[in-house]
C-alpha cells in the first residue's frame, strides 16, 4: 500500500496535537509564546496540511479539523490537571479555519498553474 507523504504528515500532526492536548500539563512543551497563539498556530498548521493533503475533500477536512478542535478540548474534561476553556477552543477553531483557507488557496493556485502550464 502506497501512502502519500501529505496524508502521513497530516495524520501524524493530528496525533501529535492530540497527545500534547491530552497529556499531563507537565508534558506540554513550552515555547515562551502565548498559549492562545500556540493553539492557533498548531491548528492552522493542521488545517493547512490536511487541506493540502486532501484538496478534493474540503468539507471532510473542515469537519475533521474543526471537529478535532472541539473534541480535543472536550476530552480535556477527562484529564486530571487539564482545564478546557471556551477561549481555547475559539483559538483552535480560528487557527484551523485559517489553515484550511490557506491550504485551499494554495491548492487552487496550484491547479490554476498546472492548467496554464499544460495549455501553453
Question: Model confidence over 15-50: pLDDT tens digits?
Answer: 999 998 888 777 777 788 988 999 999 999 999 999
**Residue extents of the structural domains in the chain:** 35-119
What pLDDT band is residue 120 in, cutting at 50, 70 and 90?
low
Asked if pLDDT for residue 83 goes beyond 60, the answer is yes
CA distance 19 to 29: 11
Burial class (CB in 10 A: 0-12, 13-18, 19+), 112: exposed
The residue ranking higher by pLDDT, 53 or 3, is 53
pTM (2 d.p.)? 0.88
Asked if pLDDT for residue 95 goes beyond 90, the answer is yes
The residue ranking higher by pLDDT, 114 or 13, is 13
Residue with cell 477561549: 87
Amino acid at each position: 500500500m502506497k501512502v502519500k507523504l501529505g496524508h502521513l504528515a497530516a495524520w501524524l500532526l493530528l496525533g501529535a496535537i492530540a497527545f500534547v492536548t491530552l497529556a499531563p500539563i507537565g508534558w506540554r512543551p513550552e515555547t515562551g509564546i502565548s498559549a492562545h497563539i500556540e493553539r492557533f498556530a498548531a491548528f492552522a498548521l493542521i488545517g493547512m496540511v490536511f487541506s493540502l493533503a486532501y484538496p478534493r475533500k474540503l468539507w471532510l477536512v473542515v469537519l475533521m479539523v474543526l471537529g478535532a478542535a472541539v473534541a480535543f478540548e472536550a476530552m480535556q474534561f477527562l484529564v486530571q490537571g487539564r482545564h478546557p476553556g471556551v477561549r481555547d477552543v475559539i483559538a483552535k477553531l480560528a487557527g484551523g479555519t485559517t489553515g484550511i483557507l490557506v491550504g485551499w488557496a494554495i491548492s487552487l493556485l496550484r491547479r490554476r498553474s498546472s492548467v496554464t502550464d499544460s495549455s501553453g
